[in-house]
Amino acid sequence: MKENSCNQSIFPDEIRNLPEADIPFKGVKGWLSQACCHQIVFFDIEPIGKVAEHKHGAQWGHVFDGEMKLTIGTKTKTYKKGDSYFIPEGVLHSASFKERTQLMDYFADKERYEEKKDTCCCCD
């Protein structure tokens, strides 16, 4: 992994060459690894503030760099580099990002995010 600096992702080329996920939040970039039954998304998130409360299928994640405040149900905790979390299916959750954070999320929903058009670098 590369060191994190102001403009550099910690993710190696193998991750950044995955198709980009179509994410509806300004300041959030993600690279999508799609499987038949799930997705894994590698996120690079700027200090965007709060992501509104929402729910979907089960989600497991790991923070590689930075930190986020994550509310799962009624419990709020700050997750930092090296921390992992699990959000059960259908549980309301929200997050807050006050600094650049790079993490990976596994989504049990195979269609949680769509691939951005014309971003697949590995399939030509």
Q: How many domains does the chain have?
A: 1
What letter would DSSP give residue 75?
A: E
* pLDDT higher at 101 or 110: 101
CA dihedral sign of residues 46, 47, 50, 53: positive
State how far Cα 39 lies from the chain centre.
11
**Quick check: is 27 in a domain?**
yes
pLDDT tens figures, 26-79: 999 999 999 999 999 999 999 999 999 999 999 999 999 999 999 999 999 999
The CATH number linked to 63 is: 2.60.120.10
Write the burial class of residue 12 (CB in 10 Å: 0-12 exposed, 13-18 middle, 19+ buried): exposed
Buried b or exposed e, range 69-106, using 16+ CB within 10 angstroms: ebebeeeeeebeeebebebeeeeebebbbeebbbbbbb
Per-residue pLDDT, 64:
98
Domain that holds residue 19: 13-115
User: Is 120 within the bounds of a domain?
Assistant: no
Q: Is residue 50 part of a domain?
A: yes
Furthest C-alpha separation in the chain: 45
E strand or H helix at 13, and its extent? Answer: helix 13-16
pTM of the model: 0.88
Is 4 contained in some domain? no
Per-residue tokens: 11: 């993710």
